Amino acid sequence: MNRTDAPLQGRVISAADWPDLIPPAVDPDPLDDRQAPRTDAPADGEEAEASTPIPAASAEAAELARLTGMLTRTATVDDVLVVIEPGLEDAAVSYTDPCTGVRRIGLGTGLLNGPAARLHGALAHEVAHHALGHTHGSARGRDVRIVIALTMGAVLAGAPGWLMVLGLAAGVVLTLLERRDERREEIAADVYSVRLLDGAGLPGHSIVTTTLAEAPADPWWYRAGGWITGTHPTLRARRRAVATAS
């Protein structure tokens, strides 16, 4: 599919019930055939009542869209679609749609129901990932898949055992290097999110440090060295990086 050129900056939808969460001030995407026709539009010749209350869900979505717009403008990133995904709970993810090329951010409903600082910090962190180009997949990750595929092919073709061991060792090394790159990306997004929040008129350092302080503690085995196989640094390393950069 080709990438759409419709403006998506600051758009907020829900994965479960997206039409009800589109802010009234934001027009639906004309290229999205899932959109339901609006039922609250005034009839011909009739003016809309200025005192019509905005539903709470729509008001929350409008505020979220406004904050997203401020962050993406500061980051000079266009076309960010924010999707509310209940399955993420207290987490957030950023990715680029492989079909349309649209940048997306998924927010768990737990973030919406929690403290505002956590939501602002998580949203800024994911916008930072997009701004820094972290959501397009790494060449190292593709190398890992290629090495594993070639190794399995060689085994099926009857290659000697040492070749299989060599291929698996190469795959492990490349995987560890990929994990290291991902941990560096997390640190970079933490640091850059402070600047984005500051640019949006919010206390960036305070929000990011609060977000990291209230995150679930790392298990002991992760702090002891398990982080080397993980995609995220330890919370202590992330807090230290933010403090050093400020």
Structural domains of the chain sorted by starting position, each given as residue range(s) with its CATH number in brackets? 11-131 (3.30.2010.10), 139-245 (no CATH)
Q: Are 6 and 30 in contact, with CB atoms under 8 Å apart?
A: yes
pLDDT tens sequence across 45-62: 444 443 334 344 567 778
State the Rg of the chain over Cα.
22
Q: What is the largest CA-CA distance in the chain?
A: 81
Higher pLDDT, residue 66 or 155? 66
pLDDT for 18 beyond 60: no
- The DSSP element (H or E) to which 105 belongs, if any, is strand 103-107
**pLDDT computed for residue 100 by the predictor:** 84
- Residue 242 has a pLDDT of 95
pTM of the entire predicted model: 0.71
pLDDT of residue 135: 74
pLDDT value at position 80? 87
Tokens of 191: 């640091």
Least confidently predicted of 10-14, 113-117, 194-198:
10-14
Please give the Cα distance from 163 to 48 (Å, whole number). Answer: 73
Side-chain half-sphere of 225: how many Cα atoms within 13 Å? Answer: 0
- Choice between 241 and 161, residue whose per-residue pLDDT is larger: 241
